[in-house]
């Protein structure tokens, strides 16, 4: 699972910064069937966690109501320079992870 992460490269301490995450995933709801009429199993990204310098700052628990290739946007307060780590997983057990750095002055 590939993801596009948008994090400002630089911020001032105390600024609210927008984080944007788009994950490539088909997000099968479990309600569709294939050409033979066989049900396609439910497989959606069910969790996304963002950690800022090791501290969890955002968590999303998703269900079948989320569209394919989910896009999430949230804000955090820029406290220190460091790393943002994004981890996610789907119903089939597949996981993904990305990292981004930010410099706070």
pLDDT, tens digit only, all 105 positions of the chain: 799 999 999 999 999 999 999 999 999 988 899 999 999 999 999 999 999 999 999 999 998 778 899 999 999 999 999 999 999 999 999 999 999 999 999
The tokens 């994090």 sit on which residue?
7
Q: What pLDDT is stored for residue 66 in this prediction?
A: 80
Q: What pLDDT is stored for residue 22 in this prediction?
A: 97
CATH of the domain at 44: 2.60.40.10
Q: What pLDDT is stored for residue 67 in this prediction?
A: 86
CB atoms within 10 A of CB 39: 11
Q: What pLDDT is stored for residue 1 in this prediction?
A: 79
| Total domains, the chain | 1
The boundaries of the domain holding residue 77 are 3-31+40-104
* Closest listed residue to residue 48, CA positions, set 84, 87, 6, 95: 87
């Amino acid at each position: 699972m590939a993801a596009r992460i948008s994090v400002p490269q630089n911020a001032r301490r105390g600024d609210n910064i927008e984080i944007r995450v788009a994950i490539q995933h088909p997000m099968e709801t479990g309600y569709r069937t294939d050409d033979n009429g066989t049900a396609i199993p439910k497989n959606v990204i069910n969790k996304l966690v963002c950690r800022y310098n090791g501290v969890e700052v955002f968590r999303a628990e998703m269900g079948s109501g989320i569209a394919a290739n989910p896009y999430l946007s949230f804000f955090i307060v820029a406290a220190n320079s460091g790393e943002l780590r994004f981890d996610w997983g789907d119903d089939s057990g597949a996981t993904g992870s990305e990292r981004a750095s930010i410099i706070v002055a």
